C-alpha cells in the first residue's frame, strides 16, 4: 500500500502526458490518485507540525524569540489563534472586494453571491477578533456570549450560503481550474478540511470559546471549499452530463447546508448549557 501513492502520481502524469484522460483504462489511475491525495493530505498536519518544530529551533526563530512579541507568538497558542483569526478576517474582506468587483464587471450573480458570503464571514471574524481583544478584561462568560452570538450569526450566514448552493444547482455554476492547478487545489482543500477539524477538536479543550467559534467558521468555510472542489472535479473528469452534475451538487450542497445549520444549533446549545451552569469550565 505504501507504493500506491507514488504509483498513483506517476500514473496520473502518464495519463495526462499521453492524452488518455477519457480512456476507460485511466479510471483505476484516477482512483489511485485520489487515494494518494487523501494519504498526502492526511499526512500534511503531522508534516507541518514537524516543520514548525524545526523552524522554532532555527536561527531566525531564536532571533524572533529574543523579542517579547515574537516569544509570545511562538509560545502562546491562544495568541497565535488570535493572529490567525485576524488574518482570516483580512482574507475574507479581500476576497469580498475582489468578487464584488468582478461581479459588477461581468454582471455575474454568482460572483456577487460569493462576495456576500465572504463579506459576512469576514464580519463574523471581525466581531470575534474584537471580542478576543477584550476577553481577558471581561472573562469567560463574555467569551461565551461571543460564542453564542456566532451561533446566531452562523444561522444568518446560511442565507447567502443557501442562495449560493441553489444558484450552483440551477445554473450549473461552479469553479474551474486550469491544468494541474486542480490537483494542487484539491490537496490544499483536503489539508484545510482535516486541519480545521483537528483545530476545532483541539480548541474544545479548556481555553478560549472565541477561538473555538473561529475554528467552527473555519470548518464551515472548508466544507464550502469541498463543495466548490466537487464542482470543479465533476466538470473536469465526469462525462455523465449536466443532470449528474446538478444531482451531485444538490446532494453535497444540501449536506453542507445541513451541517452548517447543525453546527450553529450545537453552538447555541453549548452556550445555553454554559449559561445554566453559571460559571462555564469547558469550551465547546
Residue 173, SS3 per DSSP: coil
Q: Are 186 and 248 in contact (CB under 8 A)?
A: no
Model confidence pLDDT, tens digit, residues 208-223: 888 889 989 999 988 8
Per-residue pLDDT, 69: 73
pTM: 0.73
Which three cell numbers, joined as nine digits, stand for 233? 472535479
Which three cell numbers, joined as nine digits, stand for 137? 478584561
Per-residue pLDDT, 282: 45
Per-residue pLDDT, 264: 95
Phi-psi group of 165: left, alpha or beta (phi > 0 → left; psi -120 to 50 → alpha; rest → beta): alpha
Model confidence pLDDT, tens digit, residues 140-151: 888 999 999 999
Distance CA 253, CA 81 (A): 29
Which parts of the chain have pLDDT scores under 50? Answer: 206, 280-284
Q: Are 227 and 166 in contact (CB under 8 A)?
A: no
Per-residue pLDDT, 10: 61
Per-residue pLDDT, 23: 62
Amino acid at each position: 500500500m505504501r507504493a500506491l501513492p507514488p504509483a498513483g502520481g506517476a500514473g496520473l502524469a502518464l495519463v495526462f502526458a499521453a492524452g488518455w484522460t477519457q480512456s476507460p483504462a485511466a479510471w483505476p489511475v484516477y482512483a489511485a490518485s485520489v487515494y494518494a491525495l487523501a494519504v498526502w493530505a492526511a499526512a500534511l498536519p503531522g508534516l507541518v507540525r514537524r516543520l514548525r518544530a524545526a523552524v522554532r529551533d532555527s536561527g531566525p526563530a531564536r532571533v524572533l524569540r529574543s523579542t517579547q512579541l515574537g516569544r509570545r507568538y511562538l509560545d502562546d497558542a491562544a495568541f497565535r489563534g488570535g493572529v490567525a483569526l485576524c488574518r482570516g478576517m483580512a482574507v475574507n474582506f479581500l476576497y469580498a472586494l475582489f468578487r464584488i468587483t468582478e461581479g459588477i464587471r461581468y454582471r455575474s450573480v454568482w460572483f456577487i453571491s460569493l462576495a456576500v458570503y465572504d463579506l459576512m464571514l469576514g464580519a463574523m471574524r471581525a466581531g470575534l477578533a474584537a471580542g478576543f481583544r477584550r476577553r481577558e478584561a471581561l472573562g469567560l462568560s463574555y467569551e461565551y456570549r461571543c460564542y453564542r452570538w456566532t451561533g446566531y450569526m452562523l444561522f444568518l450566514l446560511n442565507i447567502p450560503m443557501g442562495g449560493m448552493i441553489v444558484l450552483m444547482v440551477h445554473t450549473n455554476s461552479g469553479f474551474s481550474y486550469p491544468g494541474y492547478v486542480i490537483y494542487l487545489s484539491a490537496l490544499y482543500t483536503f489539508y484545510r478540511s482535516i486541519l480545521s477539524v483537528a483545530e476545532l477538536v483541539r480548541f474544545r479543550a479548556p481555553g478560549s470559546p472565541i477561538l473555538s467559534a473561529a475554528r467552527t467558521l473555519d470548518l464551515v468555510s472548508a466544507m464550502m471549499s469541498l463543495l466548490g472542489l466537487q464542482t470543479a472535479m465533476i466538470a473536469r473528469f465526469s462525462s455523465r452530463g449536466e443532470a449528474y452534475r446538478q444531482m451531485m451538487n444538490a446532494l453535497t450542497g444540501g449536506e453542507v447546508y445541513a451541517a452548517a445549520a447543525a453546527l450553529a444549533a450545537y453552538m447555541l446549545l453549548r452556550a445555553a448549557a454554559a449559561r445554566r451552569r453559571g460559571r462555564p469550565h469547558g469550551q465547546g
